[in-house]
Chain A
Amino acid sequence: MESTKKKYSSQTVLDKIENLMGEDSFVLAILKDQKISAIDLKEKNEEKIKNKNTKISELKELVNKLHDEADKINNIFKMYKTADFKTLVDVLGLNIHFDEDAKIVEEKLPKIVQEKEDKIADLTSEVATLESDVDTLVKRVSQIDKEYDDAKGYQTELIKLVKDSVDGKLNKTRDEVVKVLKNASFEEEEALDAAKLILFPEDELIPFFNENNLLTELQKSIDNITIDLSADTKTEEVKDTAAPSFASKEEDIVNTSIFSEEDANAPIELSELNLDSNSKEEFAKEPDTPISINELKESFLNFSDNNSEKTEPAIVEEADTTSIFTDDSTDANNFEFADKDKDIDINKILDKLGKNHDDAQYISNLFVDIKDEELNNFIKEIENLGLSISSVPLVAYKHDLNNYLNNIKTLKDNGYKLTDMDIEKFSAVLYLVNNEDLIANLVILKKYKINLLKSNGKICFKLLGLETAKLIDNLNLLVETGDIEVVRTNVEVITKNVKDICERILFCKTNSIPYVEENGRHFMFRSFIYDQKVLEDLLETPLDLNNIRAAKDVNATLREIANDKIVDILDKATDYNPSLENEKQEKEFNRIIKRLEDKAVVEDEYYSLGNLLFSKNNTLRNIINILNTDNKFEIKDILIVSLLYNSHKDIDSCQSVINTFNN
């Protein structure tokens, strides 16, 4: 994705347009953060007010009691003196000091009461200040709500503008386009650049949207918007109902503990958003604004949800994806905000799925786009697979349910028995990974004779979430260190930082440190192989292990010291599981393998040349990819590059391989 994104001369502007059109728009993200901070601070102040008022009450009660009891005792002191009880005191040894005590009460009480009253006054003043702050924060939250609605409105205009541009229907002057862009948060100069792209979309805007699959999503988004073109009056109604619903969610939002003092102390001014009041007014009067904010939100959620899986936000990399604005739509008990128009009864769906109503509040945009028929089919399919529908996690419903089902079926077809517990606890990968990628990973694992079962018999789903290239690289590394056998019963190793694990394995091998232990029926790596600190503690010395080269560095070296045309071919090869296409290629393949086996020792998973191990799968994949191009190369050149390409060998080892085949 990165390489695709950098090919445009106006990359930054295109990224910004894309970002501003999405749910994760940095403008919306800033407003969300501001709202969270304001609500957090308000809640904290309210807590402080409560505590201080409690303290004031306690102090007032204490002062009252002091006055009350002092009155009583002063009456006694007036009636009697210590001398009145001289005989009793002398004979019985009583400890009565009426005179002294009266003096103490007379002198000390006023001072102590004054101290308490001063404290009450201070606390009362602090409470007043805090109450004023709370009022300001309540107003601020309401203002942010308005700014958010405005920002959503500007976002709609931007989407329509881009859509019209892409469709060749744009009927706006440059100044009009610039105005929309400035409203949507472009600076003056940036807006002029962006306007050029929008007014002349053929060169960059359309290709960019095409390559990032944004056109289809844009169309979907616009289709959703146009459904309610005539709903002008409804817009106002929904807006009215939205406000109280949003406010009622504040408590829930605060309770998620996602706030920090830092956020609260870092308010971002309106001016930073570039939304001047004039332009806001003009937007509000715009007669062509066709949809309600909520409808726009829904259509955008569809757009952004899908889009976010394909491209990362380019402007704000860490945009907060938790939408406190859209979260209203997921509160099981307060659902009118986003779904009123769509007649979705979230509780009904949750009941149908055997789900706890409370769980929905932690997941935004749930069931936004789901249809009854789709849901019913899904329930039926899950049950046909012998699984309980209630075991499917709610987050799964935000993803492609057909893909999820296909992944479960694929695993089943490959002999993996899934339980409700697997689905409930560990199956996130199954709704996240494309079926095509899952199948590719299963094929690769099969080639390396690895199955998904861990030593405890559980399925290691994480393995299926790795990018196929990464999976292959990790497997090659483990083959090259000679420890793939240990991994077969500890497959989760492949999901970890394999490069670092292999660094520690090589270190242990070099220093004759036993690093594998037997555990019942299988072997496993000792704990220090997984954790550098444990190894360092054991050896009582820090270690700087960085001997394994990245495959891409080895490939770059090969370009210099071996046949660079073959390296070019492999750079372009995208098939992780290629096969020979004709008899001629098969013959040539057999000749190459014979030559290789003359020089190398052949093992199950690797070829070895001296003490150097090379992944057999990697080497064969490279040879087939080279042969499939039908280019003519010398066998020795094919072998040198095929053994080393995507391996992790150092320069000396590369040279040694070259020498072996040149002799």
Chain B
Amino acid sequence: MKILEKIGFNPNEIDELKENIPSLIMQELDKEERLVLNNIDILKELDINNYPLIFKNYYEMFLMDSSVFKEVFEKYDHDDLIDKINKNVTIIEHL
């Protein structure tokens, strides 16, 4: 669960995520820590500050190739995207 600490989740959130993330995906997220953290950094660089919420709902996306991950979030108007993600995080599924 080291990756969850590194992303910045607090102990309560970590407990909650442990319950919600299937163990084989959790292990893989830990194993591919560099990839996951790089994808988190991509969101931070794009000022998408609700990345913890995105991670909670779509953790498996953080195992995507970084260039593709970046492309997903970069191809839309920046302000519009942030506004939509803040309103409803499930928009991610349609990006």
Contact A395/B37 with A355-B65, A456-B93, A458-B93 known, Cβ cut-off 8 Å: no
A395, B63: Cβ atoms closer than 8 Å: yes
Q: Is A151 an interface residue (CB 8 A)?
A: no
Q: Which residues of A contact B90 (CB under 8 A)?
A: 456
Q: Is A467 an interface residue (CB 8 A)?
A: yes
Q: Which residues of A contact B65 (CB under 8 A)?
A: 355-356, 359, 393-394
**Of all chain A residues, which has the CB nearest B22?**
A465
- Total A-B residue contacts, Cβ distance less than 8 Å: 95
Q: Is A308 an interface residue (CB 8 A)?
A: yes
Contact of B23 among A318, A327, A428, A467 (CB under 8 A): A467
Q: How large is the interface on B (under 10, 10 to 19, 20 to 34, 35 or more residues)?
A: 20 to 34
> Nearest-CB distance from B77 to chain A (Å)?
20
**Of all chain A residues, which has the CB nearest B17?**
A497
Complex interface bits, A430-472 against B, C-beta within 8 A gives 1, otherwise 0: 0011000000000000000000000010100110011100000
Q: Which residues of A contact B23 (CB under 8 A)?
A: 467
Q: Which residues of B contact A9 (CB under 8 A)?
A: none
B61, A395: Cβ atoms closer than 8 Å: no
Q: Which residues of B contact A356 (CB under 8 A)?
A: 65, 67-68
B24, A465: Cβ atoms closer than 8 Å: yes
B34, A322: Cβ atoms closer than 8 Å: yes
> Nearest-CB distance from A258 to chain B (Å)?
6
Contact of B37 among A257, A321, A500 (CB under 8 A): A257
A425 CA to B34 CA in the complex, in Å? Answer: 18
Q: How large is the interface on A (under 10, 10 to 19, 20 to 34, 35 or more residues)?
A: 35 or more
Q: Is B78 an interface residue (CB 8 A)?
A: no
Contact of A424 among B37, B58, B64 (CB under 8 A): B64
B34, A393: Cβ atoms closer than 8 Å: no
A500 CA to B64 CA in the complex, in Å? Answer: 30
Q: Is A123 an interface residue (CB 8 A)?
A: no
B19, A321: Cβ atoms closer than 8 Å: no
**Of all chain A residues, which has the CB nearest B19?**
A497
A256, B38: Cβ atoms closer than 8 Å: yes
Q: Which residues of A contact B93 (CB under 8 A)?
A: 456, 458
Q: Which residues of A contact B46 (CB under 8 A)?
A: none
**Of all chain A residues, which has the CB nearest B94?**
A456
B25, A424: Cβ atoms closer than 8 Å: no
A429, B22: Cβ atoms closer than 8 Å: yes
A426, B24: Cβ atoms closer than 8 Å: no
Contact A393/B22 with A258-B6, A320-B2, A362-B35 known, Cβ cut-off 8 Å: no
A55 CA to B22 CA in the complex, in Å? Answer: 52
**Of all chain A residues, which has the CB nearest B12?**
A533
A500, B19: Cβ atoms closer than 8 Å: yes
A394 CA to B63 CA in the complex, in Å? Answer: 9
A256 CA to B35 CA in the complex, in Å? Answer: 9
> Nearest-CB distance from A370 to chain B (Å)?
17
A359, B33: Cβ atoms closer than 8 Å: no
Contact A462/B38 with A359-B65, A363-B32 known, Cβ cut-off 8 Å: no
Q: Is B16 an interface residue (CB 8 A)?
A: yes
Contact of B22 among A312, A458, A495 (CB under 8 A): A495
A426, B31: Cβ atoms closer than 8 Å: no
Q: Is B86 an interface residue (CB 8 A)?
A: no
Q: Is B74 an interface residue (CB 8 A)?
A: no
B22, A462: Cβ atoms closer than 8 Å: yes
A395, B32: Cβ atoms closer than 8 Å: yes
Name the residue among A362, A393, A424, A462 with the largest chain B CB count within 10 angstroms: A362
Q: Which residues of A contact B25 (CB under 8 A)?
A: 428-429, 432, 462, 465
A500 CA to B66 CA in the complex, in Å? Answer: 34
Q: Which residues of B contact A363 (CB under 8 A)?
A: 32, 34-35
> Nearest-CB distance from A612 to chain B (Å)?
26
B34, A467: Cβ atoms closer than 8 Å: no
**Of all chain A residues, which has the CB nearest B33?**
A322
A426 CA to B72 CA in the complex, in Å? Answer: 13
A320 CA to B31 CA in the complex, in Å? Answer: 8
Contact of A362 among B19, B61, B66, B94 (CB under 8 A): B66
B72, A359: Cβ atoms closer than 8 Å: no
Q: Which residues of A contact B94 (CB under 8 A)?
A: 456
A177 CA to B59 CA in the complex, in Å? Answer: 45
A495 CA to B21 CA in the complex, in Å? Answer: 7
> Nearest-CB distance from A473 to chain B (Å)?
13
The 3 closest A-B CB pairs, nearest first, are A465-B22, A356-B67, A497-B19
Q: A256-B37, A308-B27 are in contact. List 4 more A-B contacts (CB 8 A).
A: A256-B34, A393-B68, A495-B22, A497-B16
The 24 sampled A-B contact pairs (Cβ below 8 Å) are A256-B37, A258-B6, A309-B27, A318-B2, A321-B33, A355-B65, A359-B66, A363-B32, A363-B34, A363-B35, A393-B64, A394-B65, A395-B28, A395-B63, A424-B64, A425-B60, A426-B60, A427-B60, A428-B28, A428-B60, A429-B24, A456-B93, A465-B25, A497-B20
